[in-house]
Amino acid sequence: MRRKQCEITDSKHIYRVLTDSTIGRLATVGLDGYPYITPVNFVWWQDAVYFHSALAGEKLDNMKRDAKVCFEVDIPLSYLGLGSSPQSDPCRLHQLYHCVIIRGEATLIADAEEKAEVLNALLRVHEPEADFPFLTAKTPMLSACAVVKIHPEHISAKSDLLQGKDAEAVKGVIEYLLHRGQETDMQTVEAIKTNQRKDNSAEGN
């Protein structure tokens, strides 16, 4: 990882990114040798990525041919526009974010009970307020979809929260975000401050 200061190794932080997200991007290798990227609804459950799919399609064909896949999840935070830089320098335009990248092997879940458990977990994530009948191994609709598990072999994560910037520059960005007040700006400010507190605590130990 080139920007080591942005690397996240805290498993709790990685877990939050994976559980706060409901859409990830699956990369498989196509028959033509090109990467094939598909957005999928997913759930992080029992230390693995699960998603459901149609019974046929390019991504399933790719995974059957080569089970090695890459899966990416990101949470965009604030975009720093021209107003964030005193010089209004276009080269300083910047996106803050959290992201997790998983490399692993994909397998189709054949067991009906496991499929039902995964689909119930997906429903709980995507419909947290809904009252729905839980699926069982005997639910007829189970046969209408495929369920895929990605077993992680390597996980890397980054959070770009102005690490490595001097205190005055960070203060200026926080003031810019507070003044702009867009939907994600308050969340971004809190994330930056939380990260600063962690850094200060680590330096004090």
CB 37 within 8 A of CB 62: no
| Opening angle at CA 142, ends 19 and 124, nearest 5 | 25
- Domains recognised in the chain with CATH numbers: 4-163 (2.30.110.10)
Q: What is the pLDDT of residues 10-23, one digit of tens each?
A: 899 999 999 999 89
2/7 Cα distance (integer angstroms):
9
At 2 the three-state DSSP class reads coil
- Is pTM beyond 0.75? Reply is yes
Reply yes or no on whether the pLDDT at 1 is more than 60.
no
117/139 Cα distance (integer angstroms):
12
